[in-house]
Amino acid sequence: MTGVALGAAADAASGFAAALASGTATASALDVLTTRHAYVAFALLLCIGLYMMIANQNLVKKIIGLNLFQTAIFLLFITSAYVEGGAIPIVPEGAAETGTFVSPLPHVIVLTAIVVGVSLTAVGLALCIRIYDEYGTLRTDVLRELLRDEGSLPERPAVGGADGGEADE
Amino acid sequence: MSDVLLPVAIAVPLVAATLPLALGLKYERAGWPVAAVATTALAGLAAAIGIEVARGGALSHALGTYEPPIGIELVADELSVAVLALVAAVSLATLAFARVAGPRGNSFYSGYLLLVGGLTGLVLTGDLFNMFVFLEIVGISTYALIAADRSGASAYASLKYLVVGTVGASLYLLGVGYAFLATGTLNMLDMQAQIVQQASYADPLIRASYALIVAGLGLKIAVFPIHAWQPDAYQRAPDAVTTVVAALVSTASAYALIRVSYTVFTVDFLAANDAITTGMLIVAGASILAGSALAAMQSDLKRMFAYSSVAQFGMIVAAIALANETALLGGIVHLVGHGLLKFGLFLGIGLLALGYGARKLDDLASAARSAPYTSGAVALLGLGLVGIPPSIGFLGKWYIGVGAVESSMAGGDPAGIGIAVVIFVSTLFTLSYVARVIERFYFAGVGLSDGHGDDHDESGHGDGGGHDDADRGVAADGGRESVTDDDGDGPLTPVEGAPRSRLVPDRVPPASLAILVLAALTTVALGFGGYALFEWFDPYLTEVFA
């Protein structure tokens, strides 16, 4: 999964480099870092978020990882919508339609996605509170043990693993 | 004018979702009536949309009068109408069970209506980002509903689903973002044209976009390596929630995958990118085998059929990746048929748990004696899941298998034959676990009480096809009366206060039982209507494979 995301991010960056900065497509790694730092940050945030979700034992930190993951995607949309010298796309009546405008669509998408993300975080934290009330812990390893004692989980972990599965795709 | 039906169908459940909470301030039991009225209205609207589509082809509505490439478009064609009908029917039918089985409370019904509204929107939208929003509405309400019985185990299962499901939806959004960067549009039909005009099928951005969307929706559908959330979520959720979630939620995600693959990226894209389709076929094949094998190892009924869903959705993903007309028809038929079968199976399991407190396979010895109609219907649905001919389960699998062989014949690609073999092996596995259930229901424990009379009678019937299972239920019914009359310690004892009915010996709620039997008979009836299904989906398939 991480590999796909990384490769895809590189694709996005290079595709964009070719499309926007025509002629300078032969960018070295340093150039990518200095001129496309937002895309680098996007890929980094995505990977850090994913890693936190998989590797961290604490449920609340998993949710923080989830938020980082989503934030990375917001960053991608915002970065892609940036236009050098672009104006707000509001044209007063009678004014001449000159100059470049920024497409409002990516911003609207990010606004909506933020709302979705906040509601998800709320549901996730509510579930964390319930789990903590019931079992007195938020660590998945302890929790799995408790659930196994209780009989809510099968003795042997199922094939594929509970959290490792998504990393292998 | 009739295109107004589309936004109304989405708005009815979503607006009604606010009512149980608002009315709950004054009336304690406002939730169920509101949900019943709203889902009935939705069923009516779905029928009206279906009639319109049958008469005049696909319906399209521009939301807020902003014309499609810029505004959000709602579309109903033959494919979306089929899934919409499933959503409307299942959400209405589950309510009868939720009334007796709980979870109770107004907030449950608010969540339920939110889920139904999200599913309706997901099925009807013609815009990629709008689809993400509905995907998340479905997701959030599902997470809440799974944890609706307020136990710790269900909260943990739900949180696991939340994390995995959100990653899935986010990957989908990322894929949509890439496609948006490449084309500058979000409308599905417009993007189909723009991908050709502004990019190409070999463009890395477009390929990455499709790969991310498949990975994201794959997480939501629960195919093999990333299915781990699904059995826990199905098993821990309250029975009524499992019924609706198992029948609809993964189905809607698989619908989204079909829609995105064939309406946005098109068959030509799939044909031009062998690596992606081969990858999907491998994942699907692994999913079919692993799901069936894991299902055969389970002793908890809900968990068993949850793993079976992993296998069945593997078949649907395989049908999508095979990208030929027969296989896609099979995939769509199986999508709807599997939804109906799983609805019935989980409803039947839920009824047995409600009436007899039995959740494990071992608890259900001779269930056919105390609950002939319930177990008869479950057996009939189970045989449908195996793919015994007069059932919709057979049709879907058959078309997928034939499509797989066809694709191998046409292209010389061995993957198709592989999928056909895998489907065959999976059918044997399915038979093995369904046969265990039927064996428990009809033959186990016959030696315990003095039931030698029906023992002979039933083993005679047992070899017959799934067709006469309902009758078999009736036959076993007569034998059972005498058994309980004299000793009463039958292997399966009803829980205290289990509902009693004069018409049937089953100690389960009669309304839900009627729905269960109806669902079982519908799967058989639809199996006979194979040609009608083919006719119905033909315009869609011709358009896709034009």
Give which of B37, B134, B34 is closest to B84, Cα–Cα: B134
Specify burial of residue B537 (Cβ count, 10 A radius: 0-12, 13-18, 19+).
buried
In a domain, B446, yes or no: yes
In a domain, B186, yes or no: no
Mean pLDDT over A35-48 rounds to: 89
Give the pLDDT band of residue B273 (cuts 50, 70, 90). Answer: confident
Best of B107, B129, B163 to substitute, by most chain A Cβ atoms within 10 angstroms, is B163
Residue A124: list chain B partners with CB under 8 A: 143, 159, 162-163
**For residue A27, what pLDDT is reported?**
56
Q: Are A39 and A76 in contact (CB under 8 A)?
A: yes
A50 near B CB under 8 A: yes
Please count the structural domains in chain B. Answer: 1
A68 Cα to chain B: minimum distance (Å): 11
- List pLDDT tens digits, range B129-172: 999 999 999 999 999 999 988 888 899 999 999 999 999 999 99
Interface of B with A in 271-300 (CB under 8 A): 290, 294
In a domain, B283, yes or no: no
**For residue B446, what pLDDT is reported?**
60
Lowest model confidence (mean pLDDT) among B58-67, B120-129, B180-189: B58-67
In a domain, B320, yes or no: yes
Alpha helix (H) residue ranges in chain A:
2-20, 29-35, 37-55, 59-81, 105-135, 140-150
Q: Are B246 and B385 in contact (CB under 8 A)?
A: no
Q: Which residue has the higher pLDDT, B247 or B102?
A: B247
In a domain, B39, yes or no: no
Q: Evaluate if residue B2 carries a pLDDT over 60.
A: yes
In a domain, B97, yes or no: no
- List pLDDT tens digits, range B379-398: 999 999 998 888 888 999 99
Residue A62: list chain B partners with CB under 8 A: 163
A111 near B CB under 8 A: no
Residue A109: list chain B partners with CB under 8 A: 129, 177
Residue B225: list chain A partners with CB under 8 A: 160, 165, 168-169
- List pLDDT tens digits, range B222-237: 988 888 889 989 998 9
Segments forming the whole domain that contains residue B526: 308-546
Question: What residue ranges define each of the domains in chain A, with the CATH number in brackets?
Answer: 2-83+101-159 (1.10.287.3510)
The winner for highest mean pLDDT among A157-161, B117-121, B293-297 is B117-121
Residue B203: list chain A partners with CB under 8 A: 15
In a domain, B4, yes or no: no
**Predicted-assembly ipTM surpassing the 0.85 threshold:** no
- List pLDDT tens digits, range B176-202: 999 998 998 899 989 998 888 888 888
**For residue B26, what pLDDT is reported?**
87
Contact B205 A127 (CB under 8 A): no
Q: What is the dihedral of CA A44, A50, A54, A55, to 10 degrees?
A: 20
Contact A5 B212 (CB under 8 A): yes
**For residue B271, what pLDDT is reported?**
86
A95 near B CB under 8 A: no
In a domain, B17, yes or no: no
Q: Which residue has the higher pLDDT, A104 or B14?
A: B14
Give which of B182, B350, B210, B343 is closest to B272, Cα–Cα: B210
